[in-house]
Amino acid sequence: MMIEDAALRLFAEQGYEATTVEQIAAEVEISTTTFFRYFPSKADVILCHQDANMPQLRAAIIAYPPGESDLTAVEHAIKQVWVPNADPLHSQRAGQAVAASVSLRGLYNEMSRNWLEGIAAALAERRGLREPDETAIITARVALGVFNEAVRAWGSKGYKAGVGTEVDRAFARLRQLSAEWAN
Amino acid sequence: MMIEDAALRLFAEQGYEATTVEQIAAEVEISTTTFFRYFPSKADVILCHQDANMPQLRAAIIAYPPGESDLTAVEHAIKQVWVPNADPLHSQRAGQAVAASVSLRGLYNEMSRNWLEGIAAALAERRGLREPDETAIITARVALGVFNEAVRAWGSKGYKAGVGTEVDRAFARLRQLSAEWAN
DNA sequence: CAATATATTTGCGGTGCCTCCCATTTTATG
DNA sequence: CATAAAATGGGAGGCACCGCAAATATATTG
């Protein structure tokens, strides 16, 4: 979409907060009214992208063989669905913008919350539950936390190489720590 | 503070979004300008509270005997510092408001991020590191996730009884799951 | 007590995000 | 070509928030 491209470019050039909706609209020669018809908010230009992966992610979790642990199911789903779809350039721009803007972080975390609920629900479904129990929720929270750390680490290395490596490392570290935590 | 009381009351009565700063200011007979002198933003009326616990939390983590695991140190610090200071009424009002408002959730998560960094830094310091390594960050993420789940569970039970019980349960569940995850 | 220095508070204008409504243009359809 | 449907634009307005300069209260002196 043209609006998205122009917006991301302006954000990269002059920062997210410093870019007004009016500027973005002018760049694509539309009115601000039309802008808000396509994106519910300025922040959504950056973030609405991510939600697209949720259905596949859910499906991958549900379809994962029930013999394995919940955590493994989530890890596998992320590697199968999210990792291949991750675009370094877009991730970098979005990552920078999110890091620099409070309100963007707000929306980003809002999205994470949706993921949390989606993952927890998928885990529940995988085990034949109506709604997520404590185990599902905690697993989802931990998995998401580890995943976020992997993305952060990826970013701190300049978004080079694949995210897959970072995801692998983060989950491996979690499993290693788990041995310490288990009672 | 009077402003805070009036604001929380209005939020509870008519919702967070539906309450304007002007109303709050009028209630305490000050101007909106003065309101923003005391609180950097409308959302901060609800959230600025929590940050007060951070220094003690950090101290408790650092002081915890190094023989125990990082996770235990965080768990103990939360139970020692946060749990006794938790006010059910305030938690309930704040919880409701946060659940109902996107922008409040934004600020709330922003706060969580500060906690994450604070806890990770404290864990690093406890082990004599300059800055947090992957282990510290992942532990902090997991611990915060579990803690948030405990607070959520507390809320879903009407903020009755102590949070302590919920915190205990959530961490116990994590340790149980850890046995499954360990490789 | 009076005069002066110092905070604190206030009003006001302005910006930016975002919403609602209605008129107008464009596009698709028969 | 006419008619319906969809996309667009403009304008008014609300709210959070900022910056500034005036006004008010408070404290400190002579």
Residue nearest C15, CA–C1′ metric: A20
Cβ-count burial A94-114 (b if 16+ within 10 Å, e if not): bbebbeebebbbbbbbbbbee
Same domain? For B34 and B66 the reply is no
> A100 is in which domain, residue-wise?
45-181
B103 contacts A105? CB cut-off 8 A: no
Are B154 and B69 contained in the same domain?
yes
How many angstroms separate the CA of B30 from the C1' of D28? 27
Least confident of A14-18, A65-69, A120-124, B91-95: B91-95
Give the pLDDT of residue B20. Answer: 95
Domain count, chain A: 2
A168 shares a domain with A103: yes
A33 close contact with B: CB closer than 8 A: no
Do residue A38 and residue A50 come from a single domain?
no
Residues 2-21 of A with CB under 7 A from strand C: 19-21
**Chain B residues close to A178, C-beta within 8 Å:** 177-179, 181-183
Q: What pLDDT does residue B161 have?
A: 84
Q: What is the CA radius of gyration of chain B?
A: 18
- Please report which confidence band the pLDDT of residue B117 belongs to, taking 50, 70 and 90 as the band edges: very high
Q: Which of B168, B181, B176, B182 is nearest to B75 (CA)?
A: B168
Instruction: Please name the residue that has the structure tokens 């973005």.
Output: A24
Q: Select the more confidently predicted residue: A141 or B101.
A: A141
In this structure, the answer to whether residues A56 and A127 fall within a common structural domain is yes
pLDDT bin (cut points 50, 70, 90) of residue A38 is very high
Q: Which of B14, B20, B13 is nearest to B36 (CA)?
A: B20
Tell me if B148 sits within 8 A of B95, measured CB to CB: no
- Which candidate, B52, B42, B82, B45, places its Cα nearest to that of B166? B82
Question: How many helices and strands in chain A, by DSSP H and E?
Answer: 11, 0
Q: State the virtual CA torsion across A127, A128, A131, A136 in degrees, nearest 10.
A: 0
Report the b/e string of B31-54 with b at 16+ CB within 10 A.
Answer: eeeebeeebeebbbbbbbbbeebb
> Which residue in the set A138, A149, A173 is minimally distant from B173, CB to CB?
A138
The conformation of residue A161, written as its DSSP 8-state character, comes to: S
Q: What is the pLDDT of residue B46?
A: 83
Give the sign of the dihedral formed by CA B49, CA B53, CA B55, CA B58: negative
Residue A127 and residue A66 share a domain: yes
Q: Does B54 share its domain with B22?
A: no
B175 touching chain A per CB within 8 A:
yes
Same domain (yes/no): A13, A78: no
Evaluated on CA atoms B21, B24, B30, B35, the torsion sign reads negative
- Say which amino acid occupies B151: V
- Split at pLDDT 50, 70, 90, the class of A27 is very high
Beta strands in chain B (DSSP E): none
In whole angstroms, give the CA distance from residue A60 to residue B140.
28
% pLDDT > 70, chain A: 98
Considering the domain architecture, whether residues B64 and B123 belong to the same structural domain is answered as: yes
Q: Which residues of B8-26 are buried (b: 16+ CB within 10 A; e: fewer)?
A: bebbeeeebeebebeebbe
Q: Which CATH number do you get for residue A27?
A: 1.10.10.60
User: B157 and B106, same structural domain?
Assistant: yes
pTM of structure: 0.80
> Rounded CA gap, A14 and B94, in Å?
36
Claim to verify: residue A130 and residue A162 sit in the same structural domain: yes
Residue type, position B174, single letter: L
Residues of B in contact with A42 (CB under 8 A): none
pLDDT tens per residue across span B137-147: 999 999 999 99
B89 and B31: one domain? no
